[in-house]
Amino acid sequence: MLIRPKPDLTYADITPRSVYFNRREVLRAMGIAGVGLAGGKILSSLAFPGQTALATSKLSGLVKSPFSTTEKPNSIEDVTHYNNYYEFGTDKSDPAKKSQNFRTSPWSVSVEGEVAKPRKFSMDEILKLAPLEERIYRHRCVERWSIVVPWIGFSLSTLAKLVEPTSKAQYVAFQTFFDPTQMPEAKYGGIDFPYVEGLRLDEAMHPLTMLCVGMYGETLPNQDGAPVRIVVPWKYGYKSIKSIVKIRFQQKEPPTTWNRYSSEEYGFYSNVNPAVDHPRWSQATERRLGEIFRRNTLLFNGYGDQVASLYNGMDLKKYH
């Protein structure tokens, strides 16, 4: 394992936890004394072959965020083994199994379009843009399930201000990474790739909109959008695009993957709204992973006090 003084470490230098602990497991199997395995649910894959190891690394210097909910986070098993990521399969368990060889280093995010200072950010640069905050956010899926996750990152506006959007910028388009050689399951996904999403500029600049680089104190696992994603907590989960490689500021509303697939089912705004049903099911209730009983869905996923003013005067049923 490469060891350097902390300031010299780069994103690419970090040894994944799965590699480190699998090596220790091999040593233990060989009978080498003194090699103790750390406990905890994150290592359950070493004891149970059905679980998938997490290729993650510790993040240091985290600060608590005032934007966090006081709700108890879901277990890391819930969040890492029940995922939507069609590039790695359409079953909820597929991404954890089929994304482990996904290469996330080197990585860069291109920021372009209607900006005064377009540039590419490496992961090392992104990690140094601002103090990393732990934000415990509610997360609501259009399929009527929800989770609470301690995400790590900072407001997307921090990055946006560095490139200086021009007066022409009204929307922000996002594009995810796509490589069919690394993502062969995508051909069965039924949607177009690369996956694209978008926000209105004021939504993107809202302090709740997060550029996310980790969760549970560590870097993101592949199945949860490594190495960098967007989290928009008052919108349905598919708006929180994973593994982003491009951010484009533009004048016109950008196309989005699920809206392009079926505009009646998936609107551009996709705000969590119990009064606006999906054509095939009600959105009035949801099931929190790990719970038996359903709970009432909250308008804007409970973030109305912070974001409702963004939509003053809008018909939220028409602009769903």
Is 24:118 a contact under the CB 8 Å cutoff?
no
Q: Which amino acid is at 243?
A: S
- Beta strand 244-250 with 171-176 is antiparallel
| Amino acid letter, 294 | R
In a domain, 30, yes or no: no
Instruction: Tell whether 161 is covered by a domain.
Output: yes
- Write the pLDDT tens digit of every residue in 101-140: 999 999 999 999 999 999 999 999 999 999 999 999 999 9
Block residue for tokens 């905890």? 40
pLDDT score recorded for residue 53: 58
The CA distances from residue 110 to 228, 247, 276, in Å, are 12, 6, 35
pTM score, two decimals? Answer: 0.85
Mean pLDDT computed over every residue of the chain? 88
CB atoms within 10 A of CB 106: 12
pLDDT of residue 51: 56
Residue 16 has pLDDT above 80, yes or no: no
Please indicate, yes or no, if residue 166 is contained in any of the structural domains.
yes
113: left (phi over 0), alpha (psi -120 to 50) or beta: left
Interacting residues of 263 by C-beta distance below 8 A, sequence separation 6+: none
Q: If we measure between CA atoms, which residue out of 9, 27, 89 comes closest to residue 52?
A: 89
Does the N-terminal peptide bond of residue 279 adopt cis geometry, omega within 30 degrees of 0? no
- Flag whether pLDDT at 4 surpasses 80: no
Task: Establish if 14 belongs to a structural domain.
Answer: no
Q: What is the pLDDT of residue 15?
A: 40
pLDDT digits (tens, 9 = 90+) for 166-191: 999 999 999 999 999 999 999 999 99
Mean predicted confidence (pLDDT) in 242-263 = 98
pLDDT of res. 92: 97
Q: What percentage of the chain exceeds 70 in pLDDT?
A: 83
CATH value at residue 242:
3.90.420.10
Q: Is residue 68 part of a domain?
A: yes
Residue 212: enclosing H or E segment and its boundaries? strand 210-215
Q: Which domain holds residue 275?
A: 63-311
Residue 13, in any domain of the structure = no
- Bridge pairing between strands 145-155 and 210-215: antiparallel
Amino acid 167: pLDDT: 98
Is 106 a domain residue? yes
Rounded Cα distance, 24 and 286, in Å: 41
pLDDT band at 68 (very low <50, low <70, confident <90, very high): very high
Residue type (1 letter), 50: G
How is 241-272 classified by DSSP, letter by letter?
--SEEEEEEESSPPP-HHHHH-TTTS-SS-B-
232 confidence band (pLDDT: 50, 70, 90): very high
Does residue 206 surpass a pLDDT of 60?
yes
Residue 9 confidence (pLDDT) = 44
pLDDT value at 84 more than 80: yes
**Strand, coil or helix: what is 9?**
coil
Asked if the structure places residue 107 within a domain, the reply is yes
pLDDT tens column, 20-62: 334 344 334 434 333 333 333 333 333 334 556 577 899 999 9
Burial (Cβ within 10 Å: 0-12, 13-18, ≥19) of residue 318: exposed
Band (pLDDT 50/70/90 cuts) for residue 286 is very high
- How many domains does the chain fold into? 1
Residue 97 has pLDDT above 60, yes or no: yes
**Better-scored residue on pLDDT, 28 or 302:** 302
